[in-house]
């Protein structure tokens, strides 16, 4: 539900799509770096039509259908230790063009911290 709230907050004109203008406004409003717009588009605009629809947003965030985020964890933890460094996990999400997803779930984790597989599953509701 909270994802739809985020989407609605961005979709100022309630058109059901988030366009560049709306992203730019959001970035200005929240003093985010301009690259946020590019990263957001790269992450969520699956069909590359220039806008992000709620369906795309949902799909990327894994609400339906779910992306296999546990595979991201496994990739960050090739030895299967069950714990990964936050920086390593961030790198994997970035490689998978899912930086925004990472930020949304793990923003509050310190860069030098570690995430256990159980915490990961809990946070991502896997």
Minimum distance between the CB of residue 8 and Ca ion, rounded to whole angstroms? 10
Three-class SS of 52-119 = EEHHHHHHHHCCCCCCCHHHHHHHHCCCCCCEEEHHHHHHHHHHCCCHHHHHHHHCCCCCCCEEEHHH
Indicate the residue among 77 and 99 with the shorter CB distance to Ca ion: 99
Alpha carbon distance 36, 84 (integer Å) = 25
Minimum distance between the CB of residue 52 and Ca ion, rounded to whole angstroms? 6
Indicate the residue among 42 and 75 with the shorter CB distance to Ca ion: 42
Q: Which residues bind Ca ion (CB under 5 A)?
A: 11, 13, 15, 45, 47, 49
Minimum distance between the CB of residue 20 and Ca ion, rounded to whole angstroms? 10
Indicate the residue among 22 and 77 with the shorter CB distance to Ca ion: 22
């Amino acid at each position: 539900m909270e994802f739809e709230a985020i989407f609605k907050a961005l979709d100022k004109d309630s058109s059901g799509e988030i366009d560049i203008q709306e992203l730019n406004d959001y970035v200005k409003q929240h003093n985010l770096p301009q690259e946020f717009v590019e990263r957001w588009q790269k992450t969520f605009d699956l069909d590359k039509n220039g806008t992000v629809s709620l369906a795309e947003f949902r799909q990327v965030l894994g609400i339906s259908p779910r992306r296999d985020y546990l595979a991201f964890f496994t990739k960050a933890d090739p030895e299967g230790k069950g714990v990964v460094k936050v920086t390593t996990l961030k790198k994997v999400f970035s490689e998978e063009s899912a930086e925004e997803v990472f930020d949304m779930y793990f923003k509050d984790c310190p860069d030098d911290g570690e995430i256990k597989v159980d915490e990961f599953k809990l946070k991502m509701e896997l």
